[in-house]
Amino acid sequence: VTPTTAGTATTVNVPANVAQDQANNSNTAAPAAYSLTFQAPTIVVAPASLPGGTQGVAYSQTLTASGGTAPYTFAITAGALPSGLTLASSGTLSGTPTQSGSFTFTVTATDNSAAPGPYSGSRSYTLTISSPTIIVTPATLPNGTQGVAYSLTFTTSGGTAPYSYAITAGALPAGLTLASNGTLSGTPTANGSFTFTVMATDAFNSTGSRTYTLTIATPAVTATTWTGTISSDWFTAGNWTAGVPTSTVDATIPRGTVFSPAISAGTATTRSFTLNNGATLTMSGGTLDAQGTWTNNGTFAATSGTVQLGVQTGSIVGSSTTTFWNLTTAGNAVDLNTSAGLAVRRLLTNNTSLRTNGNPLTLLSDASGTAMAVNPSSSIGTVGTSAQVQRYIGPAQNPGPGYRHLASPTISQSNAQGTQFSDLATSNFTPLINPAYNTSATPGATQPFPNIFGYDQSRLATVSNNLSAFDKGFYSPASTSDRMGSGLGYTVNIAANQTVTFRGGLAYGDLTRSLSRNAAGTANESNAGWQLLGNPYPSPYDYGQQAASDRPNLDAAIYVYQSTSQYAGQYRAIINGIGDAVLPLGQAFFARVSEGQTSGSMTFRNANRVTTYQNPNYQRPAENRPLVQLTLQGAGQVLTDAATVYFEQGATVGVEPAYDAVKLPNPTGLNLLTSAAGQQLAIDGQAPLGSTQRVVPLIVGVPAAGAYSLTAAQLLNLGAVPVYLRDLLSGAVVDLHQQPTYQFTVSNAAALVQGRFELVFSPQQALAVVPAALAQQVGLYPNPAKTQVTLELPLGLSRQAVTATLVDAVGRVVRQQVLPAGLALHQLPLQDVATGVY
């Protein structure tokens, strides 16, 4: 049976015994007629509901159908889809919705059934398309500054580009505009806080907004100019157009102000500093920290204080030479970019790189002081090769010409650097070199006579001339174009009140000089080993910090020469804390390879440099050892010579290079020294005093017959120990505690007067001593005496009455006086005693 229409009854005739029901009963009756009704299939569309979408966001959903015969076709049979979406016949609902809202529509699916099909089924949907979340960024706006250009671009996410922007509430600061593309720009003309709302609209008119508060600050002051209308005080705000300068504000000093600025204390700070032509800045103290460019076209008058440059990378420019009192570079490089250069009066502290770039940097020196430089590390602080280091020659001991022992503080490691001998020329001094001096048998007759000499101890073994053994070591350099060696000394015959100039890079870092001594058995070997060395740095060098390991095989003593006339002077010995061990800038000195050695070395350490300005005084630790220093002086003369005796554990009565300084004879002929184990000493270290008497022989050298004096310049840490000066020629015994000066005469001057004077140290002793020993402890002073004399008895003689007898030079008794027991000091009147020697 083929149905024709679904749901319509159809009559069917069935023959007998053909049909069978579900219970297997056959139709045995006669043929019968049946009525049949055909039902259409139920087509079901799925899903039951559709997920929501978002405007501007791609959407896709596949619809399916069941209950019929596949394939199915789908169509919208009522309502309408959101714009931008389409339903394919296959059932795919897709596209990008361009509008938001709720949309109701019916989807009908039709199957592929044969007649009486096809059949269809429908489902009604409501599809919700949401608006997108439009997010405007940034979340906050950076602040701006009045008068400073401002620019920022807004961006948006969550919608469909392109976006357009607009202000929908509040107002922008005057001078700023918002372009439709989201660029906020302009130059604000007012300051304050401004609140406004920015709305972004996407391609499908969806919107999002954000409210902002934009702060426009008062314009920052970047420059201020000195007016000087109130005073000369740098720190008075009313003296500036925009207040006192700071590290972010440039300062300019113009000419023609009522008051010129001055800094006397405190710390003044500026970014860049400009001193205009005709303007003046006076500095008498405090600090000026210029963190940018230093421009000087005027007059910078500094009598004290410090200028610091280089907190930021700095530059020194301008048409005027800047003479700093103290200059410190800090943090970053500083470039000297003007041919006018710079000069320093006192202290250059170079903590970074000061690049001269071929422009002059001068460390000044005059009667008021000598500038110095400090380079804290050998790896930084190079200043190029254009430095000039001055050294003024003072007239204190010799106002005329004389030999000055000099050393160069500039680098001399190549032919392109270092001081040439010709650089020492001044307006009143011309360097003279004559190598003929070196081979002459009579060097003193060499013409022209050189005025610059080095020293080479090896010459003592090979040179034959009429000079003393020590003086044979002096030689004339080969040429004035030769350079002064780093760490070496030279003697230059030049007048006082001259200023010599050393040229090159400022020396830094450690320096070792290898030294030698002629072997035993060579000519003049006893005078060999002397080395003329020099402070190699542009600052004082504290030789008191010199470790023994930095002078292997060298005596501990060094000797500084002080000129007293054109061809004479005296040597000042320094050893073991005795003497001022700080070597000034440019100072040379003698050292010596020890006896029995043929080689040694001297290492100068950058760490031993003085880093604070020291001119002229240097504070040394207080002396705590027993010490006596005697000075020898001619009557009416200024010149003195000194000998020192001190007592320390480890020293002996012999000669030890670590404790004793041998005497380097003074060319003046005035010499005072001690004698120990056949050696002549300028500084004599002795073992600590004990209970027995200690006698130290003295040797005196005088240039001519006449009156002289010996004075106890220092008597330190001796407690109750009596110290006597004994004149074995006159018999005088002087208690130096009571009478520090003893006057005497020399009638027949010899090179050295030996065996006449002694220092006697007489500690308290037990009473069981011989009378002669007690007699040697009797003190008599003053000597010479006029109206009375004091007689001091030791304890062993003062316990009983004794008789004092005064005899003349031929032994006649002039006066006798009984001295009562129990007194150590007795006054003896001399009113009626004739002038003479007693």
- Each residue of 571-605: b (16+ CB within 10 Å) or e? bbbbbbebbebbbbbbbbbbbbbbbebeebebbbb
- The owner of tokens 């938001």 is 100
- Each residue of 115-136: b (16+ CB within 10 Å) or e? eeebbbbbbebebebebbebeb
The confidence score (pLDDT) of residue 799 equals 62
- Does the residue 18 lie in any domain? no
Which is nearest to 557 in space by CA: 652, 663, 642, 651?
663
Work out the average pLDDT over 795-814: 72
Whether 559 and 597 share a structural domain: yes
Comparison of pLDDT for 771 and 735, the residue scoring more: 735
- Does the residue 698 lie in any domain? yes
Whether 719 and 807 share a structural domain: no
- How many Cβ atoms are within 10 Å of 373's Cβ, its own excluded? 26
Domain end call among 776, 801, 822: 776
Phi-psi region of 339 (alpha: psi -120 to 50; beta: other; left: phi over 0): alpha
The encoded tokens of residue 114 equal 């044969």
Check pLDDT > 70 for residue 89. yes
Whether 649 and 762 share a structural domain: yes
Whether 639 and 752 share a structural domain: yes
- What sign has the CA pseudo-torsion 270, 275, 276, 278? positive
Assign 3-state DSSP to the chain and report helix, strand, coil percentages, each to 5.
Answer: 5, 45, 50
Check pLDDT > 90 for residue 1. no
- Does the residue 173 lie in any domain? yes
Work out the average pLDDT over 624-632: 96
Under DSSP, is residue 838 helix (H, G, I), strand (E, B) or coil?
coil
Domain that holds residue 100: 44-130
Cα separation of 462 and 455, whole Å?
A: 14
Domain end call among 359, 375, 404: 359
Whether 579 and 599 share a structural domain: yes
Residue pair 828/791 in contact by the 8 Å Cβ criterion: yes
Q: How many domains does the chain have?
A: 6
> What does the pLDDT look like over 718-741, one tens digit per residue?
998 999 999 999 889 999 999 999
Whether 566 and 479 share a structural domain: yes
- Each residue of 677-709: b (16+ CB within 10 Å) or e? eeebbbbbbbeebeeebbebbbbbbbbeeeebe
Whether 452 and 490 share a structural domain: yes
Confidence of residue 19 (pLDDT cuts 50, 70, 90): low
Whether 530 and 599 share a structural domain: yes
> What does the pLDDT look like over 739-769, one tens digit per residue?
999 999 998 887 789 999 999 998 644 333 3
Q: What's the angle, vertex CA 387, arms to CA 383 and CA 389, rounded to 5?
A: 130
Whether 301 and 198 share a structural domain: no
| Residues shown for the chain | 838
Average pLDDT value over all residues in the chain: 90
Check pLDDT > 90 for residue 352. no
> What does the pLDDT look like over 494-504, one tens digit per residue?
999 999 999 98
> What does the pLDDT look like over 485-536, one tens digit per residue?
999 999 999 999 999 999 988 888 899 999 999 999 999 999 999 999 999 9
The distance from CA 67 to its chain's CA centroid, rounded to whole angstroms, is 95
Domain end call among 336, 359, 382: 359
Whether 498 and 589 share a structural domain: yes
- How many Cβ atoms are within 10 Å of 385's Cβ, its own excluded? 17
Which is nearest to 550 in space by CA: 625, 620, 608, 480?
608
Residues in a beta bridge with 825: 792
Q: Is there a cis peptide before residue 116, judged by omega within 30 degrees of 0? A: yes
The confidence score (pLDDT) of residue 802 equals 81
> What does the pLDDT look like over 274-313, one tens digit per residue?
999 999 999 999 999 999 999 999 999 999 999 999 887 7
The confidence score (pLDDT) of residue 616 equals 46
The confidence score (pLDDT) of residue 417 equals 64
**Radius of gyration from C-alpha coordinates of the chain:** 54
Question: Which CATH number do you get for residue 50?
Answer: 2.60.40.10
Whether 573 and 634 share a structural domain: no
- Does the residue 719 lie in any domain? yes
- Does the residue 67 lie in any domain? yes
Check pLDDT > 50 for residue 415. no
Whether 90 and 147 share a structural domain: no
What is the full DSSP assignment across 755-817?
EEEEEEE-----S---HHHHHHT-EEESSS-SSEEEEE--HHHHTS-EEEEEE-TTS-EEEEE
Check residue 833 and report its DSSP letter: P
Work out the average pLDDT over 464-480: 97
Check pLDDT > 70 for residue 18. no
Residue pair 148/186 in contact by the 8 Å Cβ criterion: no
At residue 771, what are phi and psi to the nearest 5 degrees?
Answer: -60, -35
Strands 73-79 and 44-46: unpaired
Ranges 65-74, 268-277, 770-779: which has the least confidence: 770-779
Cα separation of 642 and 633, whole Å?
A: 9
Cα separation of 813 and 806, whole Å?
A: 6
- Does the residue 197 lie in any domain? yes
Ranges 5-9, 48-52, 344-348, 733-737: which has the least confidence: 5-9
- Does the residue 372 lie in any domain? no
The confidence score (pLDDT) of residue 792 equals 79
- Does the residue 1 lie in any domain? no
806 sits in which H/E element? strand 802-807
> What does the pLDDT look like over 22-76, one tens digit per residue?
677 766 566 667 676 678 899 999 999 999 999 989 999 999 999 999 999 999 9
